Structure 1
Amino acid sequence: MSNKRPTYSHSRLQTFENCPLQYKFKYIDRIKSEEEGIEAFLGKRFHEAMEKLYGDMRYKILTLDELLDYFDEQWEKNYSEDIVIVKKNRTKEDYYNLCKECIKNYYQRYYPFNSSKLIALEKYVKINLDDYGNYQLGGYIDRLSQREDGTYEIHDYKTSGSLPEQEKIDNDRQLALYQLGVQNLWNDVEKVELIWHYVVFDKEIVSRRSNEQLEELKKETIALIDRIENTEEFLPNESALCDWCTYQDLCPLKKHKTKLESLPVNEYLADDGVNLVNTYVKLKKEISDREAELNKVKEAVFAYAEREGISVICGSDKQLKISQTEGLSVPSKKSEERKKLEEIIRSAGKWNEVSTLDNSALKDKLKADKWDKGLVDEIKKFITPTISKRISISTLRRDED
């Protein structure tokens, strides 16, 4: 990476947390992607509508019809068939209607928009995370306003289709970082409310941060930046977000799938990778089927040997020898029974003799009758005798005439 540290942003940090490889493609390799998803397109159109609504408010309050006309104009002007719709059961009309409904609901909920005084729209703030300016972030506040009681409001519009719980919002980094930036702008910034508008749900979620929380956020963010800059191998992280990634044609986890999706059926079936996978899966299934069949024969061998009272079974030119070993099964390491068993052995001063509760060592001690009978009886309450059987194959030797 360059010696000069870049100015980070919340989205840049979030990209690394979501997928280090996507971060590398976007911010280190600077590979530009022309592809845009419908969700991002919808988000831009909603933000434009809000900027128009509040930007005109110093002069007039737009009617809902005027605002929707502006939205229609921006949607038509910017939409193209290159916009990617990941959800195949949805159409552009679905997203258009959704965005329009969000604007309607927002307008009707907050009209006449006078609960606070507008200070700025799309306000850029720079945040110093340390005292020396070595760690800096920048970001744009959707809307910054101030109430009559002096409280500053940092507003952010979210068009996400999922609604986070309050706990997640209270730990969200984005607007808290913006609060740090706002506090550096004026001397009267004492009370600040962070306000998320989840417009798909017509839901407003409010959070506040103490000075202690903000100081801790600085430390956490610096640590994240250090982790990013010390990363040598930017590995892909597969998640539900992959479907919306614009670098799938470069990602080792998605590249082959992306290539295949563009092929006609005849070329798809002829692809070397497809053939390798199909062959591997077929052989794996055959092996699995054979293993299941072999296990049935094993059980039949054990049953036959026990029924006949023998330990060697002869075939045409091979023979099977059946052997069995007695063992002990102790409780699993994190169970309460295991803790109790360990305490019994420790209290008796025998812990070192069983190598931290090694099955083989414990079995030898119990068999040797060297421990007090009362201790042995206590231990036996926690262990289960086991028998493991084994089959070995050897060449059948026949007596020579």
Structure 2
Amino acid sequence: MTNAPFKNQHLSYSRLTRFEQCPLSYRLHYIEKKQAEPGLALRFGKTIHAVLERLMKEVLDDERSGPLSEERAIELYREAWSAEQLTGMDVFAEGLRILRDFIRDQGVVDHRDVLAIEKEFRLPVGPFTVLGFIDRVDWVDDETVEVIDYKTNHQLFTRDEVDTSLQLSLYHVAAQRLWPWAKKVKLTFWMLRHGVRQETTRTEEQLADALAYVETLGRQTETATEYPARLNANCSYCDHRKQCPAYADALKGKREFLCEDLADLEAVAREREEVARLAKVLYARKEELEDILKAHLTEQDELVLGGVRYRMFTTTSLDYPLDPTLSLLSEATGLSRDEVLGKLGTIDKKALDALLKSLGKKLDKPRVSLLKAELDAHADKKVSPRFWAKEVA
């Protein structure tokens, strides 16, 4: 294998992040061109994206305005599900829920407001060309476009992850070039499982930094001679995990380092990080195996395997409606409703967040944000020490 410049025909966000997260996966995928075996999460995400792309593209092609068709969405979902050869009633139902929620949250769509679906772009970055596809671009006003990227992630991104996303930075630059009249670019991750839009923007300085990083990382992919595996929580979803010796060793709990002197903090930290990486891989593998068992337990009451009994069980929680609960307690204790309420006196954060989200449909966003800030000012904050660790870039 030579190290001549510009081995890549092009760069892409997925190519760069694969190299950044695990050079071995990059080598297997792009250099050795091994057969990829995407897991359920990737295939499910691809299925949902395919449905939304077709659904919105039909709106553009037919120049329609109005609510999206749930019936058509389900028809497209069945086709995409079969094409990906997915299985599992629980996964199928999750997809239906995501699509129905999307149609509800989308509301009325006007084809004139949708500028592009699955829009290809090519960006010159130093000696490279960055190729990509944007899920969707909407017209906001005469000087603003909104770039939308659909995500089927189980977890929401942190604010820092949204504000520093390299993917969104590249999309911003692409949108500026494709629609040069747009003075502003709104960047959105539409988190489909949660019905949440995580929004951000970029400054010119941030965009310049992102392009410089892309060129730097691109040059690293050209000059690399070693491609070490980097174990992380995403290993169980990697489409080359079956070809990765490091992943196989991790599943066996194979260790490379053991701290012999617990007074040596460098050694303690080194072993701790190795154990943490192994634990993430093993826990993700445990969840994967449990999902298989759970799927079988939907068809039978229990499984007895290897001397272990597996069953599904349900838990029950009670929510007490405010008015009748206060009335009953007030009558029983002789206290006033206000006195009873003061003794109960806390509100579940999850319920409060849900209420504020519903208010967001009636009140303008700044007013809801101000209300949230005022509520937070009255909240009792409990602080408890927690161990925290993060790799230094």
| Offset at residue 249 of structure 1 (A) | 3.3
| Offset at residue 241 of structure 1 (A) | 1.3
| Offset at residue 185 of structure 1 (A) | 2.5
Distance 2:15 2:153 in 1: 18
Partner of 2:80: 74
1:155 aligns with 2:148: yes
1:119 aligns with 2:115: yes
Q: What is the aligned counterpart of 1:54 among 43, 53, 56?
A: 56
Distance 2:247 2:80 in 1: 34
RMSD: 2.8
Distance 1:41 1:3 in 2: 34
Unaligned runs of 5+ in 1: 84-90, 261-273, 278-283, 289-331, 333-401
Partner of 2:220: 227
Partner of 1:214: 207
| Offset at residue 147 of structure 1 (A) | 1.8
- What is the TM-score of this pair, normalised by structure 1? 0.58
Partner of 2:29: 26
**Aligned-partner residue type, residue 145 of structure 1:** D
**Aligned-partner residue type, residue 163 of structure 1:** L
Partner of 1:167: 160
Distance 2:88 2:26 in 1: 29
Unaligned runs of 5+ in 2: 266-393
Distance 1:210 1:115 in 2: 29
Partner of 1:45: 47
Partner of 1:129: 125
Q: Assess, with a 3 A threshold, how the Cα gap between structure 1 residues 115 and 209 changes in structure 2: closer, same or farther.
A: farther
Does structure 1 conserve the Cα–Cα contact (< 8 Å) formed by 2:5 and 2:222?
no
Does structure 1 conserve the Cα–Cα contact (< 8 Å) formed by 2:188 and 2:199?
yes
| Offset at residue 230 of structure 1 (A) | 2.7
Does structure 2 conserve the Cα–Cα contact (< 8 Å) formed by 1:193 and 1:206?
yes
Give the secondary-structure state (helix, strand or coil) at the position aligned to 1:3.
Answer: coil
Aligned counterparts, 1:351-390, within 5 A:
none
1:3 aligns with 2:5: yes
Query: Whose RCO is larger (CA < 8 A, sep 6+)?
Result: 2
Q: What is the aligned counterpart of 2:104 among 92, 108, 117?
A: 108
Larger Rg: 1
Q: What is the aligned counterpart of 1:202 among 195, 201, 207?
A: 195
Does structure 2 conserve the Cα–Cα contact (< 8 Å) formed by 1:7 and 1:135?
yes
Does structure 1 conserve the Cα–Cα contact (< 8 Å) formed by 2:188 and 2:198?
yes
Distance 1:30 1:2 in 2: 18
Does structure 1 conserve the Cα–Cα contact (< 8 Å) formed by 2:115 and 2:139?
yes
Does structure 2 conserve the Cα–Cα contact (< 8 Å) formed by 1:158 and 1:198?
yes
Distance 1:257 1:168 in 2: 27
**Aligned-partner residue type, residue 98 of structure 2:** C
Does structure 2 conserve the Cα–Cα contact (< 8 Å) formed by 1:127 and 1:178?
no
| Offset at residue 51 of structure 1 (A) | 1.4
Aligned-residue sequence identity (percent) comes to: 25
Partner of 2:359: none
**Aligned-partner residue type, residue 181 of structure 1:** A
Q: Assess, with a 3 A threshold, how the Cα gap between structure 1 residues 212 and 17 changes in structure 2: closer, same or farther.
A: same
| Offset at residue 28 of structure 1 (A) | 1.2
Give the secondary-structure state (helix, strand or coil) at the position aligned to 2:59.
Answer: coil
Q: Deviations over 1:21-43 (max 9, x none)?
A: 0011111111122x231111211
Partner of 1:244: 237
Aligned length: 252
Q: Assess, with a 3 A threshold, how the Cα gap between structure 1 residues 37 and 135 changes in structure 2: closer, same or farther.
A: same
**Aligned-partner residue type, residue 9 of structure 1:** S
Does structure 2 conserve the Cα–Cα contact (< 8 Å) formed by 1:116 and 1:147?
no
Distance 2:178 2:197 in 1: 26
Q: Deviations over 1:197-229 (max 9, x none)?
A: 010111101111111111111112212222232
Distance 1:257 1:215 in 2: 39
